[in-house]
Amino acid sequence: MSTLVRASDLTQRVVVTFAGEDVAQIKDIVYAANGGEIGAFTLAGRGLFAGPLKVALPWPRVVGIGLDAVIIESEDVLVPVGEALDTATGSASSGRGDILKSQVLTDTGSALGRVTDVIIGIGAPGAQADVVGYEIEPAEALGRGKQPLLIPLPDTMAASGEHLIVPAMAANYLTNELAAFGSAIDTFRSQLGGVS
């Protein structure tokens, strides 16, 4: 089972090369495949006054991602930001197709809430970094209070930057604990597989 992390926890994580140099830190996440997986990271320089960098880190070039750092082979694997954005669409907090704040709708048309964070499942090195769920600020109509809830996602889904469409079933798997979320995703996805 892959490790689950919140996208917001990934930002500001330091990017270190094999040579042991801290070349950048994660600024933002660029999603690919309709918001279904991580495409690339945009980067900011290290240090107090360093601004955004003109290079980005494509996901396939990441060697390892852990609690303390993101490891890459060398600075040479970084590509110009434009290139990274072209291959992916929809950034977490800027530009077109903003996933944060967009409304989560079920395919039956009821609003579940607004996205406050993205949950990412990180598997073995070289594997995809799958977007497995969202943390949402629940809609009042749900009657689940104001605590953020976690909602599992199918492997593929539609995202427009305004709305995110999830199967109505997803509402049955809302949870408020990241620890319990892993099994919720598994059961949810296996159920979906059984239906379709």
Partner 1 sequence: MLFSEAVGRKVVSTSSAATVGHVGSFVIDPVAQRVAALSLKKTPVPGDLLPWSGITAFGVDAVTVGSEDHIIEEQGQLAELNNKAHAILKKRILTTSGLQVGTVTDVDFDPADGRILGILTEDQPIDGRALLGVGSYAVVVRG
Binding footprint of partner 1 on the chain (CB under 8 A): 14, 16-22, 63-71, 125
- Of the pair 16, 151, the CB lying nearest partner 1 is at 16
Q: Tell me how far apart the alpha carbons of residues 15 and 73 are, in angstroms, rounded to a whole number.
A: 10
Q: Which of 161, 169, 160, 164 is nearest to 193 (CA)?
A: 169
Shortest separation between residue 125's beta carbon and partner 1, angstroms: 7
Token readout for 179 is 């620890």
For the chain, the first-to-last Cα distance in angstroms comes to 23
Shortest separation between residue 179's beta carbon and partner 1, angstroms: 20
Shortest separation between residue 118's beta carbon and partner 1, angstroms: 19
* Residue 80 CB neighbours (<10 A): 12
- Of the pair 125, 145, the CB lying nearest partner 1 is at 125
Which residues, including other chains, have CB under 8 Å from residue 48's CB and lie 6 or more apart? Answer: none
Which residues, including other chains, have CB under 8 Å from residue 82's CB and lie 6 or more apart? Answer: none
- Of the pair 29, 149, the CB lying nearest partner 1 is at 29
Shortest separation between residue 89's beta carbon and partner 1, angstroms: 27
Name the 3-class secondary structure at 19: coil
Number of alpha helices (DSSP H) and beta strands (DSSP E) in the chain:
3, 14
- Of the pair 70, 136, the CB lying nearest partner 1 is at 70
* Residue 40 CB neighbours (<10 A): 26
Shortest separation between residue 24's beta carbon and partner 1, angstroms: 11
- Of the pair 64, 193, the CB lying nearest partner 1 is at 64
